[in-house]
Chains A and B, each alone.
Chain A
Amino acid sequence: MSQPFRLNKVGLINRNKKISFTFNGKKLFGYEGDTIASALIANGIHLVGRSFKYHRPRGFFGAGVEEPNAKLQVEFNGHSEPNVNATEMELVEGLSATSQNCWPSVNFDIGAINNFLKMFFPAGFYYKTFMWPKSFWYKIYEPFIRKAAGLGVASIEKDKERYEHKFEYCDLLVTGSGPSGLASAYAAAKNGAKVILAEDKPRFGGTLLTDDVSIDNLSGKDWAEKIITELKSMPNVTVKNRSQVFGYYDHNMLVMFERVSDHLEKKSKFTPRQRLWYIRAKETILSTGSIERPIVFGNNDTPGIFLSAAAKEYMKVYGVLVGKKPLIFTNNDSAYETALEFKKNNVEPIILDTREEHSSELIDEAKSKGIDIRFSHGVIVANGYKKVKSAKIGKLNKDKNSFEKIETVDCDCICVSGFWTPSVHLASQSGNKLKYEEKIDAFIPDKKKQHETSVGAANGSFTLEESLKHGFENGSNLSAKIKETKTEISIPNVNEKKYGAHDKFWCMPLPKNENPKRFVDFQNDVSVSDIEIALREGYRSIEHVKRYTTLGMATDQGRTSNLNGLQLVSNIENKIVPEVGHTTFRPPFTPITIGTIVGREVGMEYMPTRKTPMHEWHEKNNAVFVDAGAWKRPRYYKQGNETLFEASKREAKNVRENVGICDVTTLGKIDIKGPDAAEFLNRVYTNAWMKLPVGKARYGLMLREDGIVMDDGTTTRISENHYHMTTTTAQAANVLSHLEYYLQIVWPELNVNVVSTTEQWAGAAIAGPKSRDMLSKLYPDLEVSNEALPFMGYKEAEFFGVPSRIFRISFSGELAYEINIKSDHGLFMWEKMMEVGKEFGNQPYGTEALSTLRIEMGHVAGPELDGRTIPSDVSLNGLVSKKKDFIGKNSLGREAFNVESRQKIVGLIPIDRKSSIPEGSHIVQDQNAKLPNPKLGHVSSSCWSVENNNPFSLAIMKDGKNMIGKKFFAVSPLKNKSIEVEVISSHYVDPEGKRVRS
């Protein structure tokens, strides 16, 4: 079990704990503290995936978030996750990783044929190719592309893990724990500010872990550890590792993704897997560092080619060599540190430096250690298919557009450095318009739009001294403004190596008579030639080039490719980079799981469930529930093998013949009090309210200002200045806001208070010819005759000792009452009603029977009051007062509302008296007419009339009542039905309304 590329004693991993895992079925091991990437490289494995478009072999390129290639399907802790970044995922016991986007295996991938057909896969290939013939798209092209596209496979199992959301507020949020981040957090913490320090990696310290520097005579790593330890001990500081701040939103709200327990072997049932933090920060320090950018050359995507800083990180953090015969290809000094690190570990690197021979502290040190340095040299093309074996190198001429002295050198890895790109993603998301900094060939933050301050490498400062200074100063000043105190901190002494100037060189010219692919964007397989094609074809805006070529898209967001892409466009266009501009950086900076976004809002927790006090009884009595907003309402009470249709028919019939009770607790209830309450209702409702006596209810209709019906319901005058309003279940919240709007904004002079009492009252309707008999048994001491308690009457009385309200109102069209009782007694009331009602044949009825009853009566509800109808459309113009003003009245005179042919409510019955008419059907004259068939109206509600024992529907139809007696077709392409219907009155049962008054 030896690991051929593991160094002895070097690194920050825990060598006392071995962790076994598998990769593509092969059993391997690593150590605690390894990532999947470092463990695989230690085992000499580089080929981990195939590229997106050409299926070219790909290996690791980076050591963290910048990794564009190594996305694996990973199974661990009992779940399977696609597109896991191997350079970030920590090793856990039993983890199993497999390569994606290859078949049958990563070693032999049939899709790689695309690589040899690459001349046929230029930029915009899909846009150009699958245009013709049109009919091929759905059946042939689309399924094929779908199969070939995408990377991993999402699990179809239910995610059993727990995810959490957390809201947090702080004075200062610091994103990144490199030197500038640590300094900022420390200075702010010393001022007493509430600080959150977020680090994406498991280890704090950023570049301090890998750079050869010292601070106050401590090594960078030890200094970081000292500061972190102190920060952790401070009560005003929250320090979080494995936490990526990925999005910067309005008003300084940042969102952070914390990987809480993916790295743990065992965890408690209540430990979330991941956590999403919504952080509202007064100030934000963006210390996100920088990402090394590659130099582009031929076959630069071959496995074994790394960013030079990643190679150093593998050595210093994980004790892993990315190769034993390295070529270092650079245009700047930072890669020399990688070379020196190789040398320290007894590996002999060759440095190819694109700059002419010169001297600097690091170059001199490398020279003195005997490292082979070749100035004005570069890698022309890498050789090797599944792993780099050698490289063709050459000496660049003065203009750097061709080379001489071409030779092939053996190597097993190439470490490339094209200088550094500040990670400005968060700054850009915050609204900061970036500016181009010529000195470093990259964008840095400019004028801020929100409370953000970029420090250190993220702001283009690449020396430790400057980073620390900026960090301490900004952390101190920003927090001092908030806390109004300032603790002086002395900035520590720093010892670091001085870097010479870098070379503004980013792409090797092509060799003569050869045309190897030179990749700019590895993740999206975008090469230099693809961008050249896009520009040749006339794409000019960088945003268009991005979309046409897919450069800088997807999870990678151009982390390593952005600037090289811009350089290329600016070279071809003969512009400078700032004129080309940059594409928009979008959140999330790194991929986050869907589970985290959803958090705990899954299944039953997706939204609150509102249950009436009688819910338990409904459950026990086989109620089948239906969702009404957040409410659960019984749809029907199932007896034996009854279907919905049979049960609702039985329940509705029983109401028409005997008596039934229905849980109406969900209706919106609003308590209205105040001396101006009557005047207010008079303005809110279309009908007159000034003369409603105490102890009486009235049906009212409410409009919006545009004349459209908003809601209907009954309101009862409880006492002189006290009213009880009911609304529909669906509109309860809107109506309350509507009333509050008029009371607070439009008529603040009205002395009226409104408050929702929906939850305070349990309600039950008692409906049917025997309801009065039943009521008299429920209230033995109360006079309930038609004279004493007439239609629209109201009484207060004790219900077996409990105060209750009795309203004689009816939705079913039968003689009916509604009893309200305090919610706590709802179940008691219901059970008593069931007990007392037995002798009258009482049965509970659900919403389906309720609908049947109201539809055949022609009572309108939601489907008719659909936001398009005015009172006269639904035969309610009798409720519209001509004498007084009310909300929406002025709109009712609009011309379109008063044309004769306007669509109005009618009833429909099928000619065959058997076929149910699907709701939503269109009413047409001729069912066989050519499309588009002129639509005369639509079916809004349908039921089986229990009174007449045949289907009946309500419809909103052109010319309304003038159509009565005529025949049409109700067609439903959705249900593939066409039914011949006759138009009749919408009041199918008891059109005179005798029953409710009986």
Chain B
Amino acid sequence: MLYIKCPYCGLRAQKEFSYGGDATVKRPNINEEVSSEDWDNFVYMRKSPRGKHIELWQHIAGCRQWIKVQRDTATHEIFQTAKVTEEIR
């Protein structure tokens, strides 16, 4: 079970969180034209890297904040966590 440092609550067990996918995906702006290629990339295309991955988690059984976690998908090592408004490196 992972040990995730919520930027608001501190180190908490994985069972308090739910996973939310790639955090680097940016939704096209609302009310703006978007090409179907860009849209499809946003909706469907995700990288599945072995190694470092910046991803979203939500502290659902805690402060309910969505957070960013930089994790190694192979070893589960967590390098950094941040608020969603903050950048990871």
Q: Does A772 contact B (CB under 8 A)?
A: no
* Cβ-defined contact, A746 with B64, below 8 A: no
10 extra interchain contacts, Cβ-Cβ under 8 A, other than A683-B30, A890-B34?
A: A250-B3, A250-B76, A449-B75, A705-B27, A733-B60, A737-B18, A737-B58, A741-B66, A745-B84, A890-B39
Contact of B1 among A253, A706, A744, A885 (CB under 8 A): A253
**Cβ–Cβ contact B85 & A250, under 8 A:** no
Contact A278 B64 (CB under 8 A): no
Chain A residues contacting B85 (CB-CB under 8 Å) are: 748
In the complex, what residues of A have CB within 8 A of residue B3's CB? 250-253, 280
A403 to chain B, nearest CB (A): 50
Chain B contacts for A706, CB-based, 8 A: 43-44
Q: How far is the CB of B37 from chain A (nearest CB, A)?
A: 11
Q: Would A251 and B43 count as touching, CB distance under 8 A?
A: no
Instruction: Give me 27 A-to-B residue pairs in the complex whose CB atoms sit less than 8 angstroms apart, sorted by A's number.
Output: A167-B13, A250-B76, A251-B3, A251-B76, A251-B78, A280-B3, A280-B13, A449-B75, A705-B42, A705-B43, A706-B43, A706-B44, A737-B18, A737-B60, A740-B66, A741-B66, A744-B66, A744-B84, A745-B56, A745-B66, A745-B84, A746-B27, A747-B30, A748-B85, A885-B31, A890-B34, A893-B36
Establish whether residues B1 and A249, one from each chain, have CB atoms under 8 Å apart when the complex forms.
yes
State in angstroms the CA–CA spacing of A249 and B27 once bound together.
35
Determine how close the nearest CB of chain B comes to the CB of A25; give it in whole angstroms: 45
Q: Which of B19-52 contact A (CB under 8 A)?
A: 20, 27-28, 30-31, 34, 36, 39, 42-44
Find the B residue at minimum CB distance from A167.
B13
In the docked arrangement, what's the CA distance between A278 and B85, Å?
A: 33
Min CB gap B77→A, angstroms: 8
The answer to whether the Cβ of A927 comes within 8 Å of any Cβ in the partner chain is: no
Report if A744-B76 is in contact (Cβ < 8 Å); known contacts: A280-B3, A705-B42.
Answer: no
Q: Give the residue of A252, A705, A741 whose beta carbon is less than 8 angstroms from that of B20.
A: A741
Chain B residue nearest in CB terms to A251? B3
Contacts of B27 in A (CB 8 A): 705, 746
Name, among A747, A885, A890, A891, the residue most crowded by chain B CB atoms within 10 Å (CB to CB).
A890
Does chain A have a CB within 8 A of B2? Answer: yes
Which residues on A sit within 8 Å (CB–CB) of B13? 167, 280
A862 within 8 A of B: no
User: How many chain A residues have a CB neighbour from B under 8 Å?
Assistant: 27
* Closest beta carbon of chain B to A710's beta carbon, Å: 14
Inter-chain CA distance A531–B63, complex, in Å, is 56
Partner of B75 from A280, A431, A746, A747 at Cβ < 8 Å: A431
Contact of A741 with B58 at beta-carbon distance under 8 Å, contacts A251-B3, A253-B1, A706-B44 already known: yes
Decide if B31 touches A250 in the complex (CB within 8 Å).
no
Q: Say how far B36's CB is from chain A's closest CB, in angstroms.
A: 7
What mask results when residues 728 to 768 of chain A are scored 1 for a CB within 8 Å of chain B, else 0? 00000100010011001111100000000000000000000
> For residue B11, which residue of chain A has the nearest CB?
A280
Please give, as numbers and ranges, the residues of chain B lying within 8 Å of A250 by CB-CB distance.
1-3, 76
Residues of the B chain whose Cβ atoms lie less than 8 Å from the Cβ of A249: 1
Q: What residues of B have a CB within 8 angstroms of the CB of A431 in the complex? A: 75
Across-interface contacts of B64 in A (CB, < 8 A): 740
Considering residues B13, B43, B75, which has the most beta carbons from chain A within 10 angstroms of its beta carbon?
B43
CB distance from A746 to the nearest CB of B (A): 5
CB distance from A640 to the nearest CB of B (A): 45
Give, as a whole number of angstroms, the nearest-CB distance from A792 to chain B. 27
User: Do B34 and A740 have beta carbons less than 8 Å apart?
Assistant: no
Residue pair B56, A891 in contact (C-beta under 8 Å): no
Which residues of B54-78 have CB atoms within 8 Å of chain A's CB atoms? Answer: 56, 58, 60, 64-66, 75-76, 78
Please measure, in the bound complex, the distance between the C-alpha atom of A250 and the C-alpha atom of B78, giving whole angstroms. 10
Binary contact readout A225-256 vs B (1 if CB under 8 angstroms, 0 otherwise): 00000000000000000000000011111000
- The CA of A154 and the CA of B57, in the complex, are separated in Å by 41
Q: Within A164-210, which residues are at the interface with B (CB < 8 Å)?
A: 167
Contact A891 B76 (CB under 8 A): no
Chain B residues near A251: list those with CB within 8 A: 1-3, 76, 78
Interface residues of A (CB under 8 A from B): 167, 249-253, 278, 280, 431, 449, 683, 705-706, 733, 737, 740-741, 744-748, 884-885, 890-891, 893
B2 touching A891 by the CB < 8 A rule?
no
Note all chain A residues with C-beta closer than 8 A to B2.
Answer: 250-251
Cα(A253)–Cα(B1), bound, Å: 7
A988 to B84, CA, bound (A): 49
Kindly list chain B residues whose C-beta atoms are within 8 Å of the C-beta of A278: 1
Residue of A nearest to B64 (CB): A740
For residue B39, which residues in chain A have a CB less than 8 angstroms away from its CB?
890-891
Q: How far is the CA of A893 from the CA of B58 in the complex (A)?
A: 31
Identify the closest chain B residue to A683 (Cβ): B30
Residues of B within 8 A of A252 (CB): 3
Min CB distance, B3 to chain A, in Å? 4
Q: Closest approach, in angstroms, between the C-beta of A637 and any C-beta of chain B?
A: 35
In the bound assembly, the distance between CA atoms of A737 and B60 in angstroms comes to 8
Nearest neighbor of B56 in chain A, beta-carbon distance = A745
The residues of B that contact A745 with a CB separation of less than 8 Å are 56, 66, 84
- The CA-CA distance from A747 to B27 in the complex, in Å, is 10
User: Min CB distance, A883 to chain B, in Å?
Assistant: 11
Taken together as a complex, chains A and B put the C-alpha atoms of A733 and B18 apart, in Å, by 12
Q: What is the CB-to-nearest-CB distance from A890 to chain B, in angstroms, rounded to a whole number?
A: 5
Q: B56 — which chain A residues lie within 8 A by C-beta?
A: 745
A249 to B65 CA separation, bound complex (whole angstroms): 26
- What are the 10 A-B residue pairs with the smallest beta carbon separation, nearest first? A251-B3, A250-B76, A890-B39, A885-B31, A744-B66, A745-B84, A885-B30, A746-B27, A705-B43, A706-B43
**Which residues of B sit under 8 angstroms from A280, Cβ to Cβ?**
3, 13
Contacts of A740 in B (CB 8 A): 58, 64, 66
How close is A62's CB to chain B, nearest CB, in angstroms? 32
CB-defined contacts of B30 to chain A, threshold 8 Å:
683, 747, 885
Q: Kindly state the separation between the CA atoms of A748 and B1 in the bound complex, as whole angstroms.
A: 31
Q: A601 → chain B, closest Cβ, in Å?
A: 13
User: Considering the chains assembled together, what is the distance between the CA atoms of A683 and B31 in angstroms?
Assistant: 10
A756 to B84, CA, bound (A): 22
Query: In the docked arrangement, what's the CA distance between A945 and B39, Å?
Result: 43
- A252 CA to B34 CA in the complex, in Å? 45
Q: Which residues of A contact B75 (CB under 8 A)?
A: 431, 449
Nearest B residue to A756, CB-CB: B64
Query: Looking at the complex, which one of B1, B18, B20, B43 makes contact with A891 (CB distance below 8 Å)?
Result: B43
A706 to B39: give the CA distance in the assembly, Å.
10
CB distance from B63 to the nearest CB of A (A): 11
Which residues on the B side are within 8 Å of A744 (C-beta)? Answer: 65-66, 84
What CA separation (Å) do A683 and B27 show in the bound complex?
A: 13
Q: A673 to chain B: closest CB distance in Å?
A: 16
Bound-state Cα–Cα, A251 to B35, Å = 42
In Å, the complex CA distance between A890 and B36 comes to 8
Q: Cα distance A193–B20 when bound, in Å?
A: 37
For B20, the chain A residues whose CB sits under 8 A away are 741
Distance in angstroms between the alpha carbons of A884 and B31 in the assembled complex: 7
Measured between alpha carbons, how far is A160 from B40 in the docked complex, in Å? 55
Q: How far is the CA of A683 from the CA of B75 in the complex (A)?
A: 39
**Taking the nearest CB of chain A, how far is it from the CB of B69, in angstroms?**
12
Q: How far is the CA of A683 from the CA of B76 in the complex (A)?
A: 36
Report how far A249 CA is from B1 CA in the complex, Å: 7
A996 to chain B, nearest CB (A): 33
**Closest A-chain residue to B85, C-beta based?**
A748
Complex formed: what's the CA distance from A745 to B22 in Å?
12
CA of A747 to CA of B29, assembled, Å = 9
Closest to B30 in A: A885
Distance from A211 Cβ to chain B, minimum over Cβ atoms (Å): 38
Give A884 to B30 CA distance when docked, in angstroms.
9
B5 smallest CB distance to A (angstroms)? 10
A814 CA to B34 CA, complexed, in Å: 43
Expressed in whole angstroms, the Cα–Cα distance for A167 and B2 within the complex equals 14
Question: With the chains together, A79 CA to B17 CA distance in Å?
Answer: 38
Inside 8 A of B42's CB, which chain A residues have their CB?
705
Q: For residue A746, which residues in chain B have a CB less than 8 angstroms away from its CB? A: 27
Complex Cα distance, B85 from A744, in Å, reads 8
Contacts of B78 in A (CB 8 A): 251
Task: For residue A788, give the distance in angstroms from its CB to the closest CB of chain B.
Answer: 38
